[in-house]
Amino acid sequence: NVLILDFGSQYTQLIARRVRELNIYCEIYPYNNLPEDISSFRAVILSGSPFSVRSEEAPHPDLSEIKGKIPTLAVCYGAQYLAHFGGGNVAPSNTREYGRANLSYVKDGEVFFESIHEGSQVWMSHSDTIKELPTGGVRIASTHDVANAAYRIEGEETYAIQFHPEVYHSTDGKQLLENFLVKIAGVEQSWTPDNFVDMTVAELKEKVGKEKVVLGLSGGVDSTVAAVLLNKAIGNQLHCIFVNNGLLRKNEFQSVLDQYEGMGLNVKGVDASARFLDALAGISDPEEKRKTIGRVFIEVFDDESHKIEDAKWLGQGTIYPDVIESISVNGPSATIKSHHNVGGLPDFMKLKVVEPLRMLFKDEVRRVGASMGIDPELLGRHPFPGPGLAIRILGDITPEKVSILQEVDSVFINGLKSWGLYDSVWQAGAILLPVNSVGVMGDERTYEKCVALRAVESTDGMTADWVHLPYDFLQKMSNEIINKVKGVNRVVYDISSKPPATIEWE
């Protein structure tokens, strides 16, 4: 019930996440594609933008249905937009207005600033500044360099701030959002995982009726939570397929399958390892590997879904960041689009699509999963790439290399768990290098494989840094790997950040 209007700022998603953290539901819409029933929203937040309001190409949406009618919070560009087109004056700033600043003046008695005081740190990121407020504007806060750091419009529930409350460095940002949304706009804080589950189960029942849904489980958090939700709604009308592509972690296929069955899911495990490994034989190019795995997966999934008579729906674990990307101001990024010739689509792709998590962020998916009683260990699993170990074996892939890497990976991951380090790492794994090096074991010269260990911290995989794992731990891992895994005589640790490196080596 809160609308966030996106003007293309890199922080728009962050606004949505902060609002959701307050247990308030919100949706992002691009400024050039407004929802039809705007009056049903209880509050509106206008985002920042990379543009200057004075530029010809800048977003200039018609806000006549919003401003003065629905409580509105305008952030950064939004604040400048209201000033520029409301009788004020926006001009380039004389001083740099990026980064840390502190409120030097806060007007007394403003509900908007309740529990926020002079000195509070805020984060600025703008090159224009509001020289004169719009008609009816009342200054309610300043910083040392920015006189009009916040204003409101007299007689309206319209508030505007030059700084970014959504970023972590604006210390009272969440309080400010709460003041605006709860105290001023009167929005209820009822967006909780339990409510989401109740609401979604009812919707799914209604939508799917008595029809059958096919869903591919990957062992990851999203597809699992989507399946459990659907299972709650439609029980055995849900048919899950879990494919072993032969590139999973050691024992993962069986243990995850057992776990799924234990959760009461109607799941069929399909071991297609040989089909994948045959198709991959001799391929070294990373993109070629990905394409091959994608193609074989579609073939296997198509074969299996044909065996389910009368399936009408395809269930998917799509989450909100994917949805936002596809509808964003900047449009979907070219890389995630795959162009299918409709006539040539596999049959399962002609099914109607049901995506119960399409409005959730990743942390919300975990909370919803927890509220349905899914094992915390499953919910806390590190991300694992779809092509699996294929992109961690540099060069061509053979069954023998897969099995060496599975052993190494298993020592490393179990080590992280038993040393209590697993949960402080965002993602970890091992890479099998196409390099042999000389070693000595007993009195024998060896000439065997080298593996790299990788452990990173990150929040979304977009940027990442290597984790400073304790030397004692690394020593223990190196020892255990070389002693236990036949064919490996050297272990190195990857100390590259992303950027400029990436998390995976391929």
Binding site for ligand XMP (CB under 6 A): 290, 383, 385-387, 427, 461, 498, 502-504
Residue 487 burial (C-beta neighbours within 10 Å; 0-12, 13-18, 19+):
middle
The first and second tokens of residue 118, run together, are 């002079």
Cα 260 to Cα 368: distance, rounded to the nearest angstrom: 17
Q: Which is nearer to ligand XMP, 145 or 504 (CB)?
A: 504
The annotation status of 221 as a binding-site residue, yes or no, is: yes
The yes-or-no answer on residue 76 being catalytic is yes
Q: How far is the CB of 394 from ligand XMP (least distance, A)?
A: 13
Q: How far is the CB of 294 from ligand XMP (least distance, A)?
A: 9
Q: Are 26 and 180 in contact (CB under 8 A)?
A: no
Phi, psi of 412 (to 5 degrees): -65, -50
The annotation status of 326 as a binding-site residue, yes or no, is: no
Q: Which is nearer to ligand XMP, 336 or 440 (CB)?
A: 336
Given 97, 157, 166, 364, which residue is catalytic? 166
User: Strand pairing partners for 241?
Assistant: 216, 268
Q: Which is nearer to ligand XMP, 290 or 358 (CB)?
A: 290
Q: Are 17 and 361 in contact (CB under 8 A)?
A: yes
Packing angle, helices 471-484 and 399-418, rounded to 10: 140
Residue carrying structure tokens 């004020």? 88
Taken in order 393, 397, 401, 402, the sign of the CA dihedral is positive
Q: How far is the CB of 401 from ligand XMP (least distance, A)?
A: 18
**Helix (H) / strand (E) containing 476:** helix 471-484
DSSP state at residue 383: P
Q: How far is the CB of 384 from ligand XMP (least distance, A)?
A: 7
The annotation status of 223 as a binding-site residue, yes or no, is: yes
The annotation status of 380 as a binding-site residue, yes or no, is: no
Q: Which is nearer to ligand XMP, 118 or 287 (CB)?
A: 287
| 3-state secondary structure at position 499 | coil
* Gyration radius of the chain over CA positions: 27
The annotation status of 40 as a binding-site residue, yes or no, is: no
Q: Which is nearer to ligand XMP, 272 or 503 (CB)?
A: 503
Q: How far is the CB of 290 from ligand XMP (least distance, A)?
A: 5
CB atoms inside a 10 Å sphere around CB 288: 12
The annotation status of 190 as a binding-site residue, yes or no, is: no
Residue 128 backbone class (left: φ over 0; alpha: ψ -120 to 50; beta: rest): beta
DSSP string, 398-411: -HHHHHHHHHHHHH
CA atoms within 13 A on the CB side of 15: 30
Q: Are 201 and 225 in contact (CB under 8 A)?
A: no
Given 164, 240, 364, 448, which residue is catalytic? 164
Q: Which is nearer to ligand XMP, 439 or 461 (CB)?
A: 461
Strands across the sheet with 311-315, in order?
A: 267-271, 238-244, 212-217, 311-315, 352-354
Given 26, 76, 178, 407, which residue is catalytic? 76
Residue 117 burial (C-beta neighbours within 10 Å; 0-12, 13-18, 19+):
exposed
Could you tell me where the DSSP H helices lie in 140-192?
A: 173-178
Q: How far is the CB of 506 from ligand XMP (least distance, A)?
A: 8
Q: Residue 168 to residues 74, 325, 501: CA-CA distances in angstroms? A: 18, 22, 25
Phi, psi of 35 (to 5 degrees): -65, 160
Q: How far is the CB of 278 from ligand XMP (least distance, A)?
A: 20
The annotation status of 220 as a binding-site residue, yes or no, is: yes
Q: Which is nearer to ligand XMP, 129 or 427 (CB)?
A: 427
Q: Known binding site: residues? A: 218-224
- Active centre residues (catalytic): 76, 164, 166
Q: Known binding site for ATP: residues? A: 218-224
